[in-house]
Amino acid sequence: MTDEELKAEVTAWLAANWRGAPPRTERFGRDPRAEWLAKVRDAGWAAPRWPAQWYGRGLSDAQARIVENCFAEAGAPGTGQDRSNLWANTALAHASETFKPQIVPKLLAGEVGMCLLYSEPGAGSDLAAIRTRADRVEGGWRVTGQKVWTSGAHIADYGMLIARTDWSAPKHKGISFFFMPMRQKGVDVRPLRQITDESHFNEVFIDDAFIPEENLLGNLGGGWGVLQTALAYERSVMGDAARGARSGAKEAHGDAALLELAREAGKLSDPVVRQDVAQVIAWRMLNSLNTRRAKAELGQGTSSSIMSLGKLAMSRILHEEGRVRTELLGPESLLQGPDHPRAEDANFLSLNAYFTSIGGGTDQIQRNIIGERVLDLPREPEVDRDVAFSTVIAGR
């Protein structure tokens, strides 16, 4: 199929099928657009780079971008999930042959809510130090432990869980990766109040919860490798975009928002302000190009250290944009609430920037990854890397 034929087919399909869909106001849980997303999936447009047996079309990256551009022009969601859907990509690459056909179609259609069960009170930046345990029983595993900072756990159907299955192995090699059913006895989710006055994060207490045998992803003890795939897709998404303003006030899209705010404040002619605004816009453009390059190099089911560049860059961009918005507003930035939407947005974006600095691996961890795996600098010393986890003091 030529590019022109492909574009004509996608355009005709959208004209015949796209009639709008409910907005997604909640980032977590089941997607209210599931009916539309199922149509996109069944037509092969959700993951156009994937093979036909997995709801794709086997297209090249260049042709998949034609599909994505057609959807963007129509304002229709649902395509490009072979690059953006971390749940489906991880499952396709590593799920068992019995579980994969059960879960991948639902993930592409947003029919199940998902969360990430990685971090623990004693294992945040050093995820390999986790102490949540999964013990084999008849038909699967029993899991006991605690997770924290789990976005969306309160409305999730499954959690992508890392747990220790071999305490005699070194810390990176005794970990396994699971899709754990969340709606069961033994899973207690408790919300955490955030500085933005939201409660997207949660503590999750797991007490003898059950995971079926088929829900193991990858090999037993090979969870660290599966985790790298999942983290690469998560960092890709976080490096590509971030939450916008929340006040509901009509605002120009993207980079134009800062220009509009500077113009409203009467400061657009100030050379220092113009330089600050231009810096944020330039960083966004550079990050977009870098993320596009990294995604083009990311093979399905693999990981890429380049994604850490985009994730770290987006964190810096958000903090800088928050600073510039506050500077533009001056004393008005001290106000809050629906009567002061500009100040409300500036404060929210400044505070929410810390989410990107922490989620998906902290800024400090991204710098370590970039230094060691991109710039080939010497690794930091790890005295506990090659010893049995049961002998590590923190692992007891």
Same domain, 41 and 149: no
pLDDT at residue 395, rounded to an integer:
45
Question: Domain containing 354: what range?
Answer: 241-361
Same domain, 212 and 308: no
Residue 231 located in a structural domain = no
pLDDT bin (cut points 50, 70, 90) of residue 249 is low
* Better-scored residue on pLDDT, 290 or 18: 18
Tell me the average pLDDT across 373-379: 88
Query: What average pLDDT does the chain have?
Result: 89
For 234, the token pair is 């998560």
Residue 106 located in a structural domain = no
Q: What is the CATH number of the domain that holds 129?
A: 2.40.110.10
Residue 92 located in a structural domain = no
Angle between helices 86-94 and 223-240 (to 10 degrees): 150
Residue 396 located in a structural domain = no
- Percent with pLDDT over 70 in the chain: 92
Same domain, 186 and 266: no
Residue 132 located in a structural domain = yes
Residue 202, beta-bridge partner list: 191
Q: What is the DSSP string of 174-230?
A: SEEEEEEESSSTTEEEEE---TTS----EEEEEEEEEEEGGGEESSTT-HHHHHHHH
Quick check: pTM over 0.85?
no
pLDDT digits (tens, 9 = 90+) for 351-365: 888 888 887 778 888
Residue 246 located in a structural domain = yes
The domain boundary, picked from 31, 62, 84, lies at 84
pLDDT at residue 299, rounded to an integer:
59
pLDDT at 242 > cutoff 60: no
The total domain count for the chain is 3
Same domain, 141 and 76: no
Same domain, 251 and 348: yes
Residue 332, beta-bridge partner list: none
Same domain, 248 and 348: yes
Same domain, 207 and 270: no
C-alpha 11/C-alpha 4 separation (Å) is 11
Residue 72 located in a structural domain = yes
Q: Which of 270, 288, 215, 229 is nearest to 87 (CA)?
A: 229
Same domain, 315 and 286: yes
pLDDT at residue 396, rounded to an integer:
46
